[in-house]
Amino acid sequence: MHDTVRTGNGLEIHATRPKPRRATNGYEVDVPELLSQVIPTPMSNRPRMDPETAKMEIARRHREIMEILGLDLTDDSLSETPERVAKMYVDEIFAGLREENFPKITVVENKMSYDEMLVEINISFNSTCEHHFLPILGRAHVAYICKGWVLGLSKFNRVVQFFAKRPQVQERATVQIQQALAKILQTNDVAVVIDAVHTCVRTRGVEDESSLTRTSKLSGAFQSNPSLRAEFFASIPSPAQLKMS
């Protein structure tokens, strides 16, 4: 699995071209090659269980947790909770831990000769804090300078959501999304900003109901050209403009 591979020099993994499977006027992203070059989520070296076995094991262990807490698992409202949690973990909120769930992406040739900045703002996502397994509710803003290749707009959403669907810290998620898009589009001119509410901060510990966290990862012209960087940040909502529950 790609998550066990450690490559690059920390957070600065420069774009190298994935080995493309050519299609008409474009190429299909080689997912294993792509993910091997993105900063990994910490994973054990043990063999991965198949999804159905994983669900059974998670349900069994979650049942034990509920019993330790003193809950009555014979109650109609609780009896199927372990299975619901297991299905949610494997099929939904942690689906991004499995390479096969990466979206199918075909990158197409930039026949329009468009060479300016493209920005997609307010990509909504839900992730999970890896420290407390509580939700992270976020918005991603992504941009790139169009060169030889372009990407369907919905694919930006799907890439963001893939990396969100795993236990995360916001800084890592930001870098993973930026690196993946740079490699998919074969350009270093990519910028990613994430704004997020962490419910581990809101519902426990300091119980802060108003704070929002912003992270960014910029490379290429977005990092070296101050006017382009300023144009990008001017085009995305300020934290005060975001309405995030």
Positions marked catalytic: 129-132, 170, 198, 200
Asked whether the beta carbons of 195 and 213 are under 8 A apart, the reply is yes
Start-to-end CA distance of the chain, whole Å, equals 35
Chain-centroid distance of CA 57 in Å reads 25
**Residue 10 vs residues 107, 136, 155: alpha-carbon distances, Å:** 27, 24, 26
CA-wise closest residue to 3 among 29, 33, 39 = 39
Paired tokens of 153: 């707009």
Q: Compute the distance between CA of residue 60 and CA of residue 39 in angstroms, rounded to an integer.
A: 32
- In one-letter notation, the amino acid at residue 144 is Y
Which amino acid, residue 232? F
Side chain identity at 127, as an amino acid letter? S
Answer yes or no: are the C-beta atoms of 115 and 147 closer than 8 Å.
yes
Distance CA 191, CA 39 (A): 16
